[in-house]
A and B are shown apart, each in its own frame.
Chain A
Amino acid sequence: MSDITKSELDRRSLLRRAAAVGLAATPAVGMLSACVGGGSEEKNDQATGTKSADNPLGIDPKAPVEIVIFDGGLGTKYATDVDTPMYKKKWPESEVKYTGTEQIATTIKPRLNAGNAPDMINNSGADMMDFGAIVKAGQAADLTDLFAAPSFDIPGKTVAETLVPGAIEQGTYDVEGGRKPFAVNYSFTVFGLYYNKKLFDKNSWTVPTTWADFTALCDKIKAAGIVPFAYAGANASYYMVRAIMTSAAKIGTEQVLKDLDNLKPGAWQAPAIKQAAEAWGQIGARYMNKSFLGLRHTEVQLQQNQDKVAFYPCGSWLENEQAASITPNFEYAVMPYPSVTAADQLPATAINAAAGEIYFASTKGTNVQGGKEYLRVMLSKAAALEFTKLTKSLTVVAGAADGQTISPGLTSGNDMLSKAGKDIFMGYLWDTWYKKMNDASLEAVNALMFSGGDAQKFCDTMEKVAQEVAKDSAISKNTRV
């Protein structure tokens, strides 16, 4: 016979392979139900002890506590090398069971639904769980007693009193029985326009505070053959959304953003939003080419490190994220978004800084109070300082890292914070509350920035989505005051 009959793979094994492929290709629907949970409302038996001055949360000193930390940009060292030893020092008989994972939802969601969750969970990363839904399902513990408890190492103050303004509000949700805090948003992120200080010094470019100065500088940068401003449209449009939101708040105060959070009809049509979108849309049309729509944050950030991009809108995690790409000719610095108009209600120094990175105690654990105690340890001044040293991120513990020189970007961010003084605003929460609105905003902002800068269209699109969300009874609502 000829060689065609001698092919290595005979027909039957091929068909078998084919069947396997067919199975694998059947839509991922089946996966959905992998985590169907009981609708059980029963409470786990909780380990508790007697409350005292030394034990304000009333934990059982002998009960083990289980914690889960997201193993991502911040690493896990702060938990394993700082927080856990501090907790163990205070409660030597309580065993700390620790897990680090990159897949929070995959590993934790089934356990929450099954009612045997860890006591304290760090909900973060690409695979984070929808925290609003967790609160609504009664799976997160009320943290009122934690925030009212005395601070771990700052005498005379409660935990709440040691935190930056807005830190608790960020984790507060409307539930039956009123507004209650359910999350500790631990890291404190400063948002602004990041640039290479060395590049700017070399060209004697100065930091602009007005929009006219900003565009004039962008023209100069463009003339030097550098893209003046860019963001990554493929997966980091939310940095751009935040830039527009920040500008809008500077024009018309934070109330503009609160209206968005409260899904107030017409909120997206407010003049401040439109002015901000208009101004940024022009930046997009004049200085950014369409290829950035297809690029990812890693690619654009690398371009900035190579001095191909001048300004990049981001948060203070950027420096740590890019640590491996920073050359000796590069030094991160950050500036506030310039004032859009002369009539802006907040000064040019005003900035958006917000708490992020959710940590919560779960009602589906067996030692919820222990989980809260672990959080109290994390919120101590000593632990917060170590966290900042390890991760180059500030924490919500006010002033914990003051007077420390850790890195140029962090110092620059700290500077910006102190110059802003009281004009620091927390920003907005609709992006975490209403994920659908968040996704719509990513598309809308890309359209605004890459397709000619039609501000009215941006406002119209977002207004429509906001009203759809407001009407959808399947989406649980929150309010801001």
Chain B
Amino acid sequence: MRHGKYPFIIGFLAVPVALYAIFVVGAYLQMFRLSLTDWSGYGAFKDVGFDNFVKLWNDEVVWTALRHNGYLLLLLPIVTIAIALLFAFLLNVGGGSKGGMTRGVWGSKVYRVVFFFPQLLALALVAVIFQRVYGPDKSGMINGLLPDSWEPWLFLADENWALTCILIVLIWQAVGFYVVLFSAGMGSIGQEIYEAAALDGATRITLFFKITLPLLWGNVQVAWIYLGIAAFDAFALVNIMTVNQGGPNNSTQVLSMQIYLNAFKYSQAGYASAIGVVLFFLALSFAWLTLRVTRRDNATA
């Protein structure tokens, strides 16, 4: 077995590593290189040192976008994880125990599948669907359900609420996946632990906080990082759904949208790369910080 080990591993890894090196690492390296140039996206370019980063520092729109990413970063993981944990708990343990077995609420098998549906839709489709859900006149789905005498809600056309509308879609789309992730995690928690706690007279709430959550910590941590990265992105929804791609009045502007606009619309690929570099480091430090802060000795099941 020993002799064949390395060729075996290399055989498996070569293709994915090569793909990763070309399409991820290579792309990042080029981005770093371009961030120091004035490349328009067409033809030749010359080096401009750190000019792009200076410009970025003074760009109000980039700061606005950053604040919006921060808002998503703050709320997307926590709300999604809270909802997903609640649903997963209800699906698996929420029905109480009968004959020494914990079980989910009635119909949990159906819910489990239903919750996963949003995950199966392409994000672009979700965006188009929610555009109609959020329709700002009586033809919109939510406004159509409201009483006729009410003024239609503006949703994405309202500067104060537009970003929250995007956040809600992000949550709606993500929850199902994390329900399944947490369900699977809960499945690996030993039945006897629940049994013992139930014998000691623990309520469902105690079960959740004292047993389920600590034993699920590893999964929650992973979820937090993925959702954080998703909060740094949000490009597809903003691009498709919002007024004037990031409006009204930049109220839904995010960094990824700024990269897109600068690279492909304003022909400032160098500058866009600089924003990309910033985003790269932001996402990296976020992941690192999350892992540091949420580290729990021996609790990562």
**Cross-chain contact A294 with B31 (CB below 8 angstroms):** no
Residues in A with CB closer than 8 Å to B230 are 25
Tell me the bound Cα distance from A295 to B143 in angstroms.
14
A32 within 8 A of B: yes
Q: Give the most central of B45, B102, B244, B283: most A CB within 10 Å.
A: B244
**Min distance, Cβ A239 to any Cβ of chain B, angstroms:** 13
**Min distance, Cβ B42 to any Cβ of chain A, angstroms:** 4
B188 within 8 A of A: yes
A293/B154 contact (C-beta < 8 A), A9-B184, A32-B259, A132-B267 known? yes
A295/B42 contact (C-beta < 8 A), A22-B226, A32-B273 known? no
A37/B235 contact (C-beta < 8 A), A21-B226, A443-B248 known? no
Tell me the bound Cα distance from A15 to B265 in angstroms.
37
Interface string of A1-27 (1 = CB under 8 A from B): 111111101110011011001110111
Residues in B with CB closer than 8 Å to A15 are 181, 222
Tell me the bound Cα distance from A476 to B27 in angstroms.
27
**Min distance, Cβ B273 to any Cβ of chain A, angstroms:** 6
Chain B residue, CB-CB nearest to A15: B222
Tell me the bound Cα distance from A63 to B267 in angstroms.
33
Q: In residues 177-226 of chain B, which contact A (Cβ within 8 Å)?
A: 177, 180-181, 183-188, 191, 222, 225-226
Residues in A with CB closer than 8 Å to B276 are 27, 29, 32
Instruction: Specify which of A31, A41, A233 is in contact with B44 (CB 8 Å cutoff).
Output: A41
Instruction: Specify which of B44, B134, B177, B225 is in contact with A137 (CB 8 Å cutoff).
Output: B44
**Cross-chain contact A293 with B184 (CB below 8 angstroms):** no
A30 within 8 A of B: yes
Residues in B with CB closer than 8 Å to A233 are 157, 243-244, 248
**Cross-chain contact A293 with B42 (CB below 8 angstroms):** no
A234/B243 contact (C-beta < 8 A), A18-B181, A31-B27 known? yes
Q: Give the most central of A9, A136, A234, A446: most B CB within 10 Å.
A: A234
Residues in B with CB closer than 8 Å to A21 are 177, 226
A contact residues, range: 35 or more
Tell me the bound Cα distance from A445 to B40 in angstroms.
28
B70 within 8 A of A: no
Residues in B with CB closer than 8 Å to A30 are 23-24, 27-28, 31
B266 within 8 A of A: yes
Chain B residue, CB-CB nearest to A133: B267
A25/B187 contact (C-beta < 8 A), A233-B157, A436-B266 known? no
**Min distance, Cβ B131 to any Cβ of chain A, angstroms:** 8
Residues in A with CB closer than 8 Å to B80 are none
**Cross-chain contact B187 with A18 (CB below 8 angstroms):** no
Residues in A with CB closer than 8 Å to B43 are 37, 39, 41, 113, 133, 136-139
A109 within 8 A of B: yes
Residues in A with CB closer than 8 Å to B109 are 3
Tell me the bound Cα distance from A368 to B11 in angstroms.
48
Q: In residues 262-300 of chain B, which contact A (Cβ within 8 Å)?
A: 263-273, 276, 279-280, 283
A29/B136 contact (C-beta < 8 A), A443-B249, A446-B248 known? no
Tell me the bound Cα distance from A237 to B245 in angstroms.
12
B77 within 8 A of A: no
Tell me the bound Cα distance from A130 to B30 in angstroms.
22
**Cross-chain contact A443 with B244 (CB below 8 angstroms):** yes
**Cross-chain contact A25 with B229 (CB below 8 angstroms):** yes
**Min distance, Cβ A253 to any Cβ of chain B, angstroms:** 30
A481 within 8 A of B: no
Interface string of B98-110 (1 = CB under 8 A from A): 0001111000010
**Min distance, Cβ A256 to any Cβ of chain B, angstroms:** 25
**Cross-chain contact A27 with B187 (CB below 8 angstroms):** no
Tell me the bound Cα distance from A234 to B225 in angstroms.
33
**Cross-chain contact A10 with B184 (CB below 8 angstroms):** yes
A324 within 8 A of B: no
A-B contacts, 6 of them at CB < 8 A, read A2-B102, A27-B235, A33-B30, A130-B41, A291-B137, A293-B248
Given contacts A291-B154, A294-B243, 12 further A-B contacts (CB under 8 A): A6-B187, A7-B112, A10-B184, A23-B24, A32-B259, A133-B43, A235-B243, A290-B154, A294-B136, A443-B244, A446-B243, A446-B247
